[in-house]
Chain A
Amino acid sequence: MSYVEARPLGARARRRRILRRRFLRRPAAVASLLIVVGAILAAVFAKWVAPYPPEETDFEALLASPSREHLLGTDDLGRDTLSRIIWGARASIQAGFLATVLAMVVAVPIGLIGGYYRGWLDTVIARVTDVLLAFPFLILAVGLAAILGPSLLNATLALGIAAIPPLIRIARGETLALREEDYVRAAVANGANDAVIIGRHILPNMTSTLLVQATLTIPAAIIGEAVLSFLGLGVQPPTPSWGVMLNAAQPYLNDAPSLAVYPGLAIVIVALAFNLLGDGLRDVLDPKTER
Chain B
Amino acid sequence: MTETLLEVQDLSVRFDTDDGAVHAVDRMSLTLEPRQVLGIVGESGCGKSVTALSILGLLPKTATVTGSVSFDGTELLGASRSHLRKVRGRQISFVFQEPMTSLNPVFRIGRQIDEVVREHMDVSKRGARARTLELLDLVHIPDPSRRVDEYPHQLSGGMRQRVMIAMALACDPKILIADEPTTALDVTIQAGILDLLREVRERLGTAIVLITHNLGVVADLADRVVVMYAGRKAEEAPVHELFAHPQHPYTIGLLGAVPRAGAARNGRLQEIPGRVPSLAEPPGHCAFADRCPRADEQSWSEVPELREVRHDHAVACFHPGER
Contacts and interface: CB of A to CB of B under 8 A. Distances in A.
B93 interface: yes
A10 B148 CA distance: 11
Interface string A186-201: 1111111100100011
Interface stretch (A83-91, A177-185, A216-224, A242-250): A177-185
Nearest to B93: A190
B204 interface: no
Task: Give chain B's interface secondary structure class.
Answer: loop
A189 B119 contact: no
Contact of B94 (A181, A190, A200): A190
B260 to A, nearest CB: 33
Given A182-B102, A183-B102, A205-B105, A189 B151 contact: no
A205 B106 contact: yes
Nearest to A10: B149
Q: How large is the interface on A (under 10, 10 to 19, 20 to 34, 35 or more residues)?
A: 20 to 34
B85 A193 contact: yes
A187 B93 CA distance: 10
A190 B101 contact: no
Contact of A190 (B89, B105, B107): B89
A189 B149 contact: no
A11 interface: yes
A11 B154 contact: yes
Given A181-B101, A182-B98, A189-B58, A200 B88 contact: no
Interface residues of B, number: 32
B151 A11 contact: yes
Contact of B101 (A182, A201, A207): A182
Contacts of B98: 182
B125 interface: no
A198 to B, nearest CB: 13
A47 interface: no
Contact of A204 (B101, B103, B106, B151): B106
Contacts of A196: 115, 119
B149 A190 contact: no
B30 to A, nearest CB: 18
Interface of A: 10-12, 15, 181-183, 185-193, 196, 200-201, 204-205, 207
13 contacts: A10-B149, A11-B154, A12-B149, A181-B101, A182-B101, A186-B102, A186-B167, A187-B104, A189-B96, A190-B170, A191-B85, A192-B119, A193-B85
